Amino acid sequence: MPSSVVAAFNYDAPHHTLNVVYLSGKKYAYKNVPEQVYLDMKDAFSKGTFLNQNIKGKYPFKKIN
Protein backbone atom coordinates (compact mmCIF):
# COMPACT_ATOMS: atom_id res chain seq x y z
CA MET A 1 0.00 0.00 0.00
CA PRO A 2 1.39 3.46 -0.82
CA SER A 3 2.20 5.56 2.20
CA SER A 4 0.68 8.96 2.83
CA VAL A 5 3.94 10.02 4.53
CA VAL A 6 6.89 8.00 3.22
CA ALA A 7 7.88 8.20 -0.46
CA ALA A 8 10.80 5.79 -0.21
CA PHE A 9 13.21 4.22 2.27
CA ASN A 10 16.25 1.97 2.24
CA TYR A 11 18.75 0.53 4.67
CA ASP A 12 22.53 0.89 4.71
CA ALA A 13 23.42 -2.28 6.60
CA PRO A 14 27.16 -1.64 7.10
CA HIS A 15 26.34 1.70 8.78
CA HIS A 16 23.04 0.65 10.43
CA THR A 17 21.35 3.65 8.82
CA LEU A 18 17.74 3.89 7.70
CA ASN A 19 17.34 6.46 4.93
CA VAL A 20 13.84 7.89 4.54
CA VAL A 21 12.46 10.17 1.84
CA TYR A 22 9.19 11.82 2.83
CA LEU A 23 6.51 12.76 0.33
CA SER A 24 7.42 16.38 1.05
CA GLY A 25 10.82 15.65 -0.50
CA LYS A 26 12.72 15.93 2.78
CA LYS A 27 15.35 13.25 3.37
CA TYR A 28 16.55 11.94 6.71
CA ALA A 29 19.11 9.37 7.82
CA TYR A 30 18.25 7.58 11.07
CA LYS A 31 21.39 6.18 12.72
CA ASN A 32 21.97 3.02 14.78
CA VAL A 33 18.78 1.38 13.51
CA PRO A 34 18.92 -2.41 13.83
CA GLU A 35 18.34 -4.28 10.58
CA GLN A 36 15.35 -6.06 12.13
CA VAL A 37 13.62 -2.69 12.63
CA TYR A 38 14.10 -1.98 8.90
CA LEU A 39 12.72 -5.41 8.01
CA ASP A 40 9.74 -4.83 10.29
CA MET A 41 9.10 -1.49 8.58
CA LYS A 42 9.21 -3.20 5.18
CA ASP A 43 6.51 -5.60 6.41
CA ALA A 44 4.38 -2.95 8.14
CA PHE A 45 1.02 -2.13 6.60
CA SER A 46 1.46 1.57 7.34
CA LYS A 47 5.02 2.78 6.89
CA GLY A 48 4.22 6.21 8.37
CA THR A 49 2.63 4.76 11.49
CA PHE A 50 5.53 2.37 11.95
CA LEU A 51 8.01 5.21 11.52
CA ASN A 52 6.21 7.38 14.08
CA GLN A 53 5.85 4.59 16.65
CA ASN A 54 9.16 2.79 16.29
CA ILE A 55 11.80 5.09 14.83
CA LYS A 56 11.13 8.80 15.40
CA GLY A 57 12.38 9.87 18.81
CA LYS A 58 14.18 6.57 19.34
CA TYR A 59 17.16 6.91 17.00
CA PRO A 60 19.42 9.87 16.27
CA PHE A 61 18.87 11.40 12.85
CA LYS A 62 20.37 13.82 10.40
CA LYS A 63 18.60 15.78 7.69
CA ILE A 64 20.13 15.18 4.27
CA ASN A 65 20.29 18.01 1.75
CA–CA dist 23, 40 (Å, integer): 20
Specify the pTM. 0.92
Task: State residue 2's pLDDT score.
Answer: 62
SS3 54: helix
Is 21 within 8 Å of 43 (Cβ atoms)?
Answer: no
Burial class (CB in 10 A: 0-12, 13-18, 19+), 6: middle
- pLDDT by 10s per residue, the chain, length 65: 567 899 999 999 999 999 999 999 999 999 999 999 999 999 999 999 999 999 999 999 999 98
CA–CA dist 62, 65 (Å, integer): 10
